Homo-oligomer: A and B are copies of this chain.
Amino acid sequence: MEKSKSPTYWNYLKVKELLSLQDGIPGTEVSTDELNFIVIHQVYELWFKLVIKDIRDIIDLFYSESVDEEFIPLTVRKIKRMVTIFKLASQHFELMEQMSPQDFIAFRGKLGTASRFQSYQLRIIEFLMGLAPSEMIKLGDATPMTHFQRNASKLDNGEEILDKIQQAINSKSLLDVIEDWLFRTPIDGSKPFENEDKITVQGFVNEYILNFNLEQDKLSQLLQNMNTGSPDNIKIRFEESKKSISDYLNAKDADEKERSRRLRIRAAILFIESYQNLPLMAWPQKLIDQLVELEESFIIFRSRHARMVERMIGRRIGTGGSSGVDYLESTTKYRIFKDIWGIRTILLQEDAIPPLRDKNFYSFVSS
């Protein structure tokens, strides 16, 4: 009888090959704690491969003149999968923590200068998500990128890895395609490059600012009545806040040639968040919210990572010694979807939002 044509579990998953990759440094014995260390990092790399594929899928789906409506739910699910992975990845540090510091010290010497810093998949994830190389915080005098560049020549497949990273930097990012899509979002029924679009969008923005200011004035008055501070100080604070929001929505911080694009993107986020109850807005709002959860889960992953390292190698106040921990901690300041976070600071309660001109535009055919 011939061998079965049906794949087996272990051939399909290449279990034998997989389980042969945990030998560490050739010619040395791998203790159970070192196996723990190796397994954990390999698991992370497997998960990261999946994250990268999902980001690339979304970039491909969105990289067109118009995004098919049915892609939005699919994209939401893909981002949800990325969130699930970052949550698992955060909990996974508990497995590392089953090693005591002493267990780790017992084999730490074998690792030499190898470091997680060298996980190029994690760098690719950052770039594909939309972190700019210029935003990366330096460790000593080197960003992660210059670190890779310096080391590439010393490594067997250094050039290959540098190439992969460079491709990720050059590629459209998740941030890029999401902002392109936001830029194209109909605002009050108007699409970009339509006649009058700029007027419509500016009208929406102005009206929103008006309503926002009314709310601020009410709040200012309330706080003055409640004697929570000097009335003048309260007034000044609220006037500053009103100006800051007007500047933000009008994209005063953007280069002049970028300004109208930036204004339209912010207006689109504000529009989607404000009218999320409309049938046509429900999925876009869900997408925006999923992106917030994605970035949140990434930040949590980073700070959980810092905690694990601190637990393993300790911290002495005033020595600046554990620069590794502090560096990891500093990267929790990165924000990729800045305007999605920014718009959240100026949302209004439902009855203060300007009413919509053409509600039917955002409905279902059959409703």
Q: Interface residues, chain A, CB within 8 Å of chain B? A: 1, 3-19, 21-22, 24-25, 32, 35-36, 38-39, 41-43, 45-47, 49-50, 53-54, 57, 69-70, 72-74, 77-78, 80-81, 84-85, 88, 91-92, 94-95, 97-98, 100-102, 105-106, 108-121, 151, 154-157, 161, 186, 189, 226-228, 241, 244, 248, 253, 273, 276-280, 282-283, 286, 289, 292-293, 296, 299-300, 303-304, 307, 310-319, 321-322, 332, 335, 338, 341-350, 360-367
Given contacts A303-B303, A350-B106, contact A22 B49 (CB under 8 A): yes
* Docked complex Cα distance between A296 and B304 (Å): 9
Given contacts A4-B226, A113-B6, A314-B342, contact A98 B84 (CB under 8 A): yes
Closest to A57 in B: B32
Are B70 and A278 touching (Cβ within 8 A)? yes
Main secondary structure of the interface of A (DSSP, over half): helix
> Which listed residue, B42, B116, B276, B363, touches A46 by the CB 8 Å rule?
B42
Cβ contacts A to B, 28 pairs, < 8 Å: A1-B154, A3-B155, A7-B112, A8-B118, A8-B155, A9-B116, A12-B24, A12-B38, A13-B21, A15-B42, A15-B121, A16-B157, A22-B49, A35-B50, A69-B279, A69-B367, A81-B95, A113-B226, A113-B228, A241-B321, A280-B364, A292-B311, A313-B344, A314-B344, A315-B344, A317-B338, A321-B345, A322-B345
Are A10 and B70 touching (Cβ within 8 A)? no
* Docked complex Cα distance between A184 and B120 (Å): 49
Are B310 and A341 touching (Cβ within 8 A)? yes
* Docked complex Cα distance between A80 and B98 (Å): 8
> Which listed residue, B78, B300, B343, touches A307 by the CB 8 Å rule?
B300
